[in-house]
Each structure stands twice: as structure tokens, then as C-alpha cells.
A and B are shown apart, each in its own frame.
Chain A
Amino acid sequence: MKPPTFSYVAPGSVEEVTRLLASDPDAKIISGGQSLMPLLAMRLAGPSMLVDLKAVNGLARIGIGETEITIGARVTHHDIESSAELASALPLLPFVARFIAHPQIRSRGTLGGSVAHSDPSAEWPTVLLAMDATIDVVGPRGGRSIAVDDFFTGPFTSSMAFDEVLVAVRVPRADRRWAFQEAARKAGDYGLAIVAVTAGVDADGRLHGCRVAVGACVGTTTRLRDVEDAIDGAVPGETLAARAEAVARDSVQPISDIHGSSEYRRRLLGNLVRRAVTDLTNGQ
């Protein structure tokens, strides 16, 4: 479990990073290394060059704005978990950080790395999809912003180009309820299924603008639009939760592996959706 040979650079600017990436299609960014290093050690990846982001300034900030929160790509899972500002402004994020891996990994692994890696089993992609986040990237041709709905295109693939750098994630600050459910066998395990829900609630208690995202049991982090339609405009409660469960079961074709069959995961996902919609009632 030793990586093959590669060269290593730690440039001081985003421009330099993109130039290096553009110059060598086999180069790869390394951020916290918590997904990339295992791939290298098991020789499942063999990049020619690692471009480390650690010397680039300004990527590790959390900015709390009036309408949105901006989190730099190099902000670690631990930074998010322990941020007092996030705990009051967007408590879903620190709440979820605790579900990711173990303390050692959280102190190195980064938000940008997790989103760029686009692992369908990871927590951040699911949660950011439910939060309607925007992903800011910079490439040799300049910067652009990608709506999260357009970001995750497949297992471990995104709409980012190979020479683009993810610099920040922006999350709207809206008055919305949220719920998060993950079925993981042990603390730190990847989940067998993950569900994140956010929704607005109007004056008469009806949900609107619901976003229901699912990870881990599917090949690509994705929204359950049928479930969103089923709960939009309704008052949360036991009946609604049961309806959401039934719709969820019918709206996915989960993956099957040694940890659970597709059929088991379908039932599991339905139950997590039910629990999440029930949690919305409680108004987190």
C-alpha cells in the first residue's frame, strides 16, 4: 500500500494551480488527502503530479453574510463541526459534520475535497443538494458558479472540468426547516442510506419549496422530486410522513452490494424519508 511515483507542487495562487492542471491532464489536486491518499496507496489512482492547495491563501475561511454563507474549499470537516457561527447561522452543517468519518479524518478532510470528489456516499453532497448551494470554481478561463442541481453528474463525477479548482461553496441563509437522517452501522461509517430535507413553512403550517436529497444508497447523489412534489403544500405530520415513505420507495432504484441488497435499501430509504419528514414536523 505505497503510492506509485508522482511529483508534488504547492503553488501559492489559484491561477498557478489551474495553470499546472491545464498543463498536465494527469495532474490532480490534493486538499486534505483523505480520499485521494487511500486511492494512491491502493494504486487505484496514479496521478503524475499532485498540486497541493495548502499554500493558496484565502481558501479556509467561513464568511457569514446577510443572505448567504460562504465556506472556502479548504475549510475542514472539523472547522465546520466546531464553528460557533455556523452553529447559530446554519446548524444543519455542524450537525452533519459529526457523521463524517472519525475525528482524525475530520481534522484533515475538507469540504471542497468532499464536494469535488463527489462520492455519492458522502454527507456533504447530499446536504448541499438539499440546501440549494452554489459551487464556485475557477479555471484557466476564469471563474464560474455552478448550481448544486447541476453539479453531481454521476458516481465520483461532477460538472467541474479537470483543470478547474473548487474555491468555495455558498449556501443561502433562508428561514427553512431541515432534517437529516443517516443509517450508518457504526459512528464514522459511510451510511447505507442518507436523506437530507429542507423546506419552508408558510403561515398556515404548509411546506413549500421542499428539497429532498438522497445519498449512499444510490449511484449519484440526487433529489427525490416525486417526494418533494408529494409533500409540497402539505402540512407535515404522521400521514404525510407515511405518504412520503411510500413515494420514496417507488421513486428510486437503489444500488446493491455486500452491505445490503437494492430491495433492503429501498425499504430503508423509505423509512429514513419517513423519519426525516416526521422531524420536519418538530421544526428543527
Chain B
Amino acid sequence: MDETLQHIKTPVVAARAIGTRVLRSEDPRLLSGRGVFLADTVLPGELHAAFVRSPVAHARITRIDVSAALALPGVFLAWTGTDVLPHCEGLVGEFAVPGCNATTMPLLATGEVVYVGEPVAVVVAESRYAAEDAAELIEWDFEELPVVVSADAALAGGDVANSQLPDNIGITGGATYGDVELAFEQADQVVSGRYYTGRVSAAPMETRGVIASYEWASGQLRVWSGSQMPHFVRYCLTAYLGFPEQCVEVIAPDTGGGFGQKAHVYVEEMLLPLLSRELDRPVKWVEDRRENLMAGTHAHEQYVDIAYALDDTGRITAVRTDALGDGGAYHAPPWSMAVEPWCAVVMTPTGIYDVPAAEYSYTAVATNKTPIGAYRGVGYMAGTLARECLADDAARALGMSPFDFRRSNVVREFPWTNPQNIVYDEGSWLETIDALEEMVDYTAFLQRQAELRLQGRYLGLGLSCFVESSGESTATSKEHGLGDVYHDTATVRMDPNGTATVTVGLTAQGQGLATTMGQMAADTLGIRVEDITVRMATSTSQAYGSGTVGSRGAVIASGAVARAGGIIREKVRAVAAHMLEASENDIELADGTASVAGAPDAKVAIADVAAAIYFDMTAWPEGFDPTLEATLAYDTARPMFSNGGHAMIVELDPDTGFVRFEKVFSVEDCGTVINPNVVEGQIRGGVVQGIGAAVFEELSYDASGQLLSTTFLDYGLPTMDVAPPFEIRHLETPSAHTASGVKGMGESGLIAAPAAVLNAVNDALTPFGAVLRELPLTPEKVFSAMNGSSAGEAS
């Protein structure tokens, strides 16, 4: 598809709602406990499923016996892999670029289990209690197989993690742009490092869950899932299981966070519909936290080797990046293992820097661990970590301030064409660096840092600037060598009273999209935001959506709302012009009124125009079509990029190795800000997740592939008491290609914050001559770096 869909060109005449701190329309319901989440949905006659999950990392199943489970009162069904196989071979995971080896993830393991937590059997019973009792009675024997638990071991070959991938390679590839070799040969200095992201979980507050209800009489299947991509789940229910698509409805109720973990299609989502059809009863599964930490996709785990060729003026002349991802046991569909190492190096390979030559390679290997999936910002986090932390290393090596080093390399003129030949239309990359330096008051900070060091207190300042591909679209995909097609629809309907109902194709997981889309619609229609009700896609029976992923929500949904709203707007203008005996081109819509430009007294309430469209044909112009409802799709015409940065001040405790977060300074440029409250909420949440990934969170495996962090006791999510205060500044460089200039920003906090944390900690460690490059920065690693002892990995 060469031509992507443009939003209608009608200018937004009056930015009344856009840009203001409209309170979230979702909050009265969600904050007072009136949300209805998956577990709150109780269907008459529902049964409950529980899974038997593999306790070992790699084994061959030799015997499995469900008879004792079936004999337990209240148990309706117990299935193993062989029962499911006739219905579905499994979910295929692959990435449509050369060098990818596909995997098929069975709905229940048959023969081989490849990670701790992989479902082996399922029980359905009258209650979750009974189902768990029965699950304990399923007997199975297995022969353990050699395990592969590290990316380096997988790459070395020998032991095989998953027999479907005999070389342990999930995907591998690379590219070179410009004369990288020459640049490195001629460099005055080369700096390099290997950065490790750690392995984390998106850990949404609400775990996953599925309810399936099949009705044989009508052939209708309804599936509840807190999915970020309900339309894709519906498509898969047809493609994999053969349920006729028109008979399938996927319902996404209120959802307590997804962060990418719910932007997949999971085996449980495919299995529950089969169970419901088999039993002719609704079947429900609500994941518990232990299951979520074991079997919900994991995230990040990558090693990124990066090198900058530098000239003696401090300019980067070339960058080489090699990303090695520990992908876990399967490709998690639909994104695959590419979601980490591919994204880390292929997307924005030079960051904010004007580097003429770039070379990258990426490999994801299979290990006997939980599959890696999407998590807010995906591989951009690892790429930004490597680029931005190496920037600080380079600044230290050159004796420059981190601000100056960045300023001497940053792209200053737009449009800018990067080494991949991708055009970046606009940005405030230099302004971001300047703003951050001013916000932290760098000179004063250096003085305070020096004074406190004399008292044995260790402060550090870390900087991280990012450019984020935003608004995941067909164009973005195509420019980066992929063929994915994205678009979403919105329906806008104006009622006889001049109020409006808007339905968008995206599901919400708490972001406040209904509020921001209400603001978009209000300004498009010229009515008050209070006069609009926005329905997020709670069901696939409503508008179509490609998924709430890739910082696309505000961009794509607002484009669709502006296009559909534009149709209604034109109809209102036409009738208003007829009623006011004016030219249609002179009609302006704002504040609930249609008025004639230059004639302030010639006006009519939009409510009266709407009423006339429904009830008074005499008000209609010749040949008028009174349909006051429109559905249109939107996709961006070009890839677009948001930018910004964070600076963080931390203090290290030499007695404990603890990192205290003193303050975060954030600069964000997502073009036109629809609602500062919502944007700031996204920044705060994303940055705190970045602090978690950088310091507190770690999914640890032992040498046998056993997952050791299966509760929040051992998996340390950041809490309010460790979250620092924020100072946030908005820069606005609108995109020329979106409705009112909006750009995406949902992922930027997590993309860039970990690098700022690592840089801040390394800045604080300067007096100790230690530099850390592996996340998370556990107390022990920091303590060792400060005390020069062997534990931890200081270098």
C-alpha cells in the first residue's frame, strides 16, 4: 500500500479542548472501584480452568495420566497435548525478514517441554479451587534434557534449547550503511562497551485472563480477554481454530495495564474457546501472579555490543552495534524474538546523533526460558541504553561534559536523512539537550556534587536523550523493511441535541485515551468536551483496530476521529450555511456555535443545526444526505519520530549499595500535546518502570533453568516510596502529517530512563574508578563497585 490514508485536511479551527488539562473522563469510574475487569465478569454456569505447568526447563514427557484428576468430584475435563493437537498444531511465531527461523508453540506441550511454566495439561472444574486440586493429581513422568540458560551458551551451540531450532538461532541479520570500516580505521579514538539489559516482566497490575463462551445453538463464540489487540485475537481464532470470523466476538473489558505483555496472542486465548465448545459451558481462567511471572511473556534480555569511532573534535564518525537477544524458548507471536534485538539496532540506529555511517547486526537465540515478548518501548530501550551510556563513556574519555558531547553530535537541521535513508521530518533534539542542562542547573549541580563528595556522599547525574519511532504505522513498517499494514477506524455520530458519540478501534489499558479522543472530537466538531462520549473498543463488534501498541494510540485514533469527525463537521457546516444564508466556506464551528466569519451576529447553535438535520428538511441544502454518522480509517502517511530526554540525579549509599533517586527532569516533544496531564502521567509511569528495570527488577534463573523470582517478594517492582519527584517540560514540534500535529509518546519513559539511571550511577561512581554496564544495578553490584570487592561486576 503506497498511499496511506490521510486525515481530512479541514483545519482544526479552534483549539479549545486540545492542549488543556481536561480531567480524565475514565477516572470517576476507575478510581472509585466501579471498573469491570475480566475477573469481575461472571457468566451463568461458568466453569474454571487451571493449568499444569512444567516445573522443569527442558524435558521429554514420557507418560501423562489424568485419570485421578478426572475422578475428583466437580471436575469436568482434563486435557493434555494429544487432546488439543487435532484442533490446532500450535501458534506459529516468525518475523517476515530473511534469517528468521519460525517456531510453533503448541497449545499444550506434546513430547518436549522447553521452559518452566510451559502449559502441559489443563483441567476444567466447577471452581478454581477444584481445578487446582485436580491439577495436582495429574501424574506425569519426564526425562530431563540438557538445558541452555544463557544467550552465550545458546550461540556457542551444542546443547539445543528447542528441537525446532537445532542451531538455537531464532533470527539473525544485519546491514551496513556508509563506509563504517574506513571510519573506524581513521578514527582518532574508539570507545566501546557491552551493555546488558537484564530480564524483566511488564508485570501489569492485572494479570492475563480469558473467558470463553460458545453457544452451540447460534454458533456464536464470545471471548473476553484484556488484549491490546482484540481484532488480532479474533482473526487468530478463525485462522487457527476455524471459528467463522463473523460468529466470533472478542471483548476487552476494563484492563489493568498491558504494557505490551497483552499485545500478543497466547495459547490460553486459543485453548479456552475449545474447552467451552467441548463442554458447552462458559470457561474462565484468571491468571495468578506466579503464572504471570512464569508464563506471561518476559522482556528485554539483551547484550548490546556498541562502538563509536570518534575524531579528535569529539564527533562520532561511525557506529557499530551488535545485539544478542536471549529470546526464550519460542517466538512469541506475532512479534517474535525480533522484538528485542532487531528493534534495538534497526530502529533509530544512530539515536539523536548525526552519524554518517552505521553498521548493525542482530541475533536472537533460543534458551530454556519464558519467551520474550513486547514491553513498552521493546528493543528501543536496549538500543538507547547502549547508545546513551556509550555517549557518556565517550564524553568521559574526551574530558567533555555529557551535555557538550551530545551537543557536538546532535542532528541540528531537519528534515534529516539518517544512514538508512529514512527521513526524519522534524524534531527538537538540540533544544532537548539545552533544556535539560538548564533544568538541572548543571554548574550548580557540579558544585554540590563536589561538596558532598568531601562529606562522603556520592551524587551522580545521568542524561539520556531519545528519538522514538512513534505511531506504529504501515509507513514506519515499510521504511524499516517490513510489510505490516496497520490502520484503525473510528465512528463519530452526532445526536439530535448536538452531542456526539465517538467509538475508536483501540482498547485502553488505563492510558486515558477516551479523554484525549474526546478532546480531539470536541475540537473537530466545535462542541464542548463534556458533550462527547467516547467508547474505546471494548468489543470487536465496534470499530476496527490494529492494536494499542507502538506509541500509536493518540496518533492513529486521533487521525481516525478527525477523519470521521470531519465528515460530520462538513455536514453541520453545510446545513448551518443554508440556515444562515451564508457561504459554507465562511462557516466556523467553535464553542457549540456555527458562525459566519466576519459577521459575529450571524450564528446558530450546533445543537439547532443537528436537530434540523434530524427533524427539519427545510433546513437542508439541495441534495443533502442526513446521515450524521461516519466511520473512517486512518494510518499515518509517513514514519514519524518523537524525541525528548531525561536527566536524573541519584545518590549512592556506600554502606548498602542502595541507589536513591533524588529527582527526574524530563523533556518530551510529542508534537501537539492533547492533554498535558495524560502526557505527564505517561512519562511518570514509563520512567518509574525504567527505574524498576534499571535497579529493582530481575527475573533470575538458576543454572538448571529454574525461575527463582515467581512472586513479588522476589521480583521487586518499584513502589511510590522509591519514585522520585519529577520536573517535566513540554516542547512542541508538531508533525505535518497527523491530525493537529500529534505524535506518539507512550513508550518514551521506559525507552530512555534506564540509560539515565545507569549514567547517573556511573557518574556517582567516578571517584571509585568503576563503570557498570549490566542491569539491574543491584545493591551488591553498586556496593562492590564502591568497595572494590570481587562480588558484582565492576570493570
Chain A residues proximal to chain B, CB less than 8 Å: 1-5, 42-43, 183, 185-190, 192, 258-261, 263-264, 267-268, 271-272, 274-275
- Decide yes or no whether B716 CB sits under 8 A from chain A: yes
List 11 other contacts, CB 8 Å, given A183-B655, A264-B657.
A1-B289, A2-B129, A2-B132, A4-B133, A186-B721, A187-B719, A258-B698, A261-B780, A261-B791, A264-B792, A268-B655
The interface-forming segment of B187-195, B328-336, B348-356, B706-714 is B706-714
What residues of chain B lie closer than 8 Å to A190, measured between beta carbons? 713
A259 vs B790: C-alpha distance when bound (angstroms): 16
Cβ–Cβ contact B780 & A264, under 8 A: yes
Closest 10 CB pairs of A and B: A271-B655, A1-B288, A187-B721, A264-B780, A2-B129, A258-B700, A183-B656, A186-B719, A2-B132, A260-B780
| A3, A43, A258 — most chain B CB neighbours (10 Å) | A258
Q: Determine whether the beta carbon of A186 is less than 8 Å from that of B722.
A: yes
Query: Which of B224-232, B458-466, B781-789 lies at the binding interface?
Result: B781-789
Q: Which residues of A contact B718 (CB under 8 A)?
A: 186
* Contact mask for chain B residues 370-392; partner A; CB cutoff 8 A; 1 contact, 0 none: 00000000000000000000000
Residue on A nearest B781 in the bound complex, by CB: A264
Q: Which of B136, B700, B783 contacts A264 (CB 8 A)?
A: B783
Q: Name the B residues within 8 Å of A4 (CB-CB).
A: 129, 132-133, 136
Q: Give the shortest distance, in Å, between A244 (CB) and chain B (any CB).
A: 14
User: Roughly how many angstroms separate A189 CA and B128 CA in the complex, as a whole number?
Assistant: 30
What are 18 inter-chain pairs, A to B, with CB distance below 8 A? A1-B132, A1-B290, A2-B128, A43-B136, A183-B656, A183-B779, A186-B718, A186-B719, A186-B721, A259-B714, A260-B779, A264-B657, A264-B783, A267-B787, A268-B657, A271-B656, A272-B655, A275-B655
> Mostly helix, strand, loop or mixed at chain A's interface?
loop
B711, B719, B780 pick with most chain A CB within 10 angstroms: B780
Of A186, A188, A267, which one neighbours B783 at CB under 8 angstroms? A267
B interface residues (Cβ-Cβ under 8 A, vs A)? 127-129, 132-133, 136, 288-290, 655-658, 696, 698, 700, 708-709, 711, 713-714, 716, 718-719, 721-722, 778-780, 783-784, 787, 789-792
Residues of B within 8 A of A183 (CB): 655-656, 658, 779
B112 to chain A, nearest CB (A): 26
Chain B: CB-nearest residue to A193 = B656
A74 to B671, CA, bound (A): 58
Which one of A5, A271, A272, A275 has the greatest number of beta carbons of chain B within 10 Å?
A271
With beta carbons under 8 angstroms apart, the residue of B136, B288, B779, B790 that contacts A192 is B779
Most buried by B among A42, A267, A272: A267
Nearest to B710 among chain A residues (CB) is A42
Across-interface contacts of B133 in A (CB, < 8 A): 4-5
Chain A neighbourhood of B700, CB < 8 A: 258
Interchain CA distance A3-B127 in the complex, whole Å = 12
A42 to B719, CA, bound (A): 24
Among A5, A187, A189, A274, contact of B716 (Cβ-Cβ < 8 Å):
A189
Closest-by-CB residue of B relative to A270 is B655
Chain B: which residue is nearest A192 at the CB level?
B779
Is B721 a contact of A264 with CB atoms below 8 Å? Answer: no
The one of B132, B716, B787, B791 that contacts A43, using a Cβ cutoff of 8 Å: B132
Q: Given the complex of chains A and B, what is the CA–CA distance between A189 and B658 in angstroms?
A: 14
Give the distance in Å from the alpha carbon of A239 to the alpha carbon of B33 in the complex: 56
- Rounded to whole angstroms, the CA-CA distance of A185 and B698 in the bound complex is 14
Least CB distance, A261 to chain B, in whole angstroms: 5
Most buried by B among A1, A3, A189: A1
- Cβ contacts under 8 Å, A2 to chain B: 127-129, 132
With both beta carbons as reference points, the residue of chain B lying nearest to A181 in the complex is identified as: B655
Query: Considering the chains assembled together, what is the distance between the CA atoms of A47 and B503 in angstroms?
Result: 52
CB neighbours (8 Å) of B780 from chain A are: 260-261, 264
The complex places the Cα of A187 from the Cα of B718 at a distance, in Å, of 10
Bound complex: CA A264 to CA B784 (Å):
8
Are A258 and B789 in contact (CB-based, < 8 A)? no
B783 → chain A, closest Cβ, in Å?
6
CA distance A188 to B784 in the complex (A): 25
Known: A185-B779, A258-B709, A258-B714. A263 touches B789 (CB 8 A): yes
Chain B contacts for A192, CB-based, 8 A: 656, 779
Residues of B within 8 A of A1 (CB): 132, 288-290
Shortest Cβ distance from B790 into A: residue = A263
Chain A contacts for B129, CB-based, 8 A: 2-5
Considering the chains assembled together, what is the distance between the CA atoms of A36 and B696 in angstroms? 26
Contacting residues, chain A, for B784 (C-beta < 8 A): 264
Return B750 CB to nearest CB of chain A, in Å: 19
Chain A neighbourhood of B778, CB < 8 A:
259-260
Nearest-neighbour CB distance to chain A for B720, whole angstroms, equals: 8
Nearest B residue (CB) for A260: B780
- Which residues of chain B have C-beta atoms less than 8 A from A186's C-beta? 696, 716, 718-719, 721-722
Query: Which B residues are in CB contact (< 8 Å) with A275?
Result: 655
The reply to whether A268 and B783 form a contact with Cβ atoms under 8 Å apart is yes
Shortest C-beta distance, B668 to chain A (Å), equals 27
- How many angstroms from the CA of A248 to the CA of B783 in the assembled complex? 18
Shortest distance between the CB of A164 and any CB in chain B (Å) = 28
Q: Within the assembled complex, what's the spacing in Å between the Cα atoms of A120 and B722?
A: 25
On whether the beta carbons of B789 and A267 are closer than 8 Å, the reply is yes
C-alpha gap A249/B472 in the complex (Å): 55
Minimum CB distance partner of A4 in chain B: B133
Q: Which residues of A contact B792 (CB under 8 A)?
A: 264
Q: Which residue of B lies closest to A188 (CB)?
A: B719
Which B residues lie within 8 Å of A271 (CB)? Answer: 655-656
Closest to B709 in A: A258
Output the nearest chain A residue to B702 by Cβ-Cβ distance: A258
Query: By the criterion CB–CB under 8 Å, are A268 and B713 in contact?
Result: no
CB proximity of B709 to chain A, nearest CB, Å: 7
Return chain A residues, CB-CB under 8 Å to B789. Answer: 263, 267
* Distance A61 CA – B530 CA, assembled complex (angstroms): 54
Residue of B nearest to A5 (CB): B133
**Contact between B791 and A264 (Cβ–Cβ < 8 Å)?**
yes
Q: Which residues of B contact A258 (CB under 8 A)?
A: 698, 700, 708-709, 714
Pick the residue among A185, A187, A261 that contacts B696 (CB under 8 A): A185
Q: Contact at A263–B722, with CB atoms within 8 Å?
A: no
Task: Output the least CB separation between B544 and chain A (Å).
Answer: 37
A residues in contact with B658, CB < 8 Å: 183, 185
From residue A168, how far is it (CB to closest CB) to chain B in Å? 29
In the complex, are the beta carbons of B787 and A42 less than 8 A apart? Answer: no
A263 to B788, CA, bound (A): 13
Candidate in B716, B721, B791 with the most chain A CB atoms within 10 angstroms: B791
Chain A residue numbers with a CB within 8 Å of B132 are: 1-2, 4, 43
B128: chain A residues within 8 A (beta carbon)? 2
Which residues of A are found within 8 Å of B696, using beta-carbon distances? 185-186
Q: What CA separation (Å) do A188 and B716 show in the bound complex?
A: 11
Query: How many Å from the CB of B132 to the closest CB on chain A?
Result: 5
CA gap between A42 and B718 in the complex, in Å? 23
A44 to chain B, nearest CB (A): 11
Q: How far is the CA of A114 from the CA of B71 in the complex (A)?
A: 39
The closest CB in chain A to the CB of B654 belongs to A271
Chain A residues whose C-beta falls within 8 Å of the C-beta of B288 in the assembled complex: 1
On chain A, the residues within 8 Å of B721 by CB distance are: 186-187
What B residues does A261 contact at CB under 8 A? 780, 791
| A257 CB, nearest partner CB in chain B, Å | 8
Distance between Cα atoms of A169 and B722 in the complex (Å): 34
* Alpha-carbon distance A186/B696, docked complex (angstroms): 9
**Chain B residues closer than 8 Å to A189, beta-carbon distance:** 716
Report Cα–Cα, A42/B712, bound state, in Å.
Answer: 13
In angstroms, Cα B718 to Cα A185, docked, is 9
The docked-state distance in angstroms from the alpha carbon of A275 to that of B783 is 17
Which residues of the partner chain A approach B719 to less than 8 Å between Cβ atoms? 186-188
Complex Cα–Cα for A268 and B789 (A): 13
Which residues from chain B contact A272 at a C-beta distance below 8 Å?
Answer: 655
CB distance from B198 to the nearest CB of A (A): 12
Query: What is the minimal beta-carbon distance from B606 to any residue of chain A, in angstroms?
Result: 49
Residues in B whose Cβ lies below 8 Å from that of A260 = 778-780
| Distance of A2 Cα from B48 Cα, bound (Å) | 12
- Give B783's nearest chain A residue, CB to CB: A264
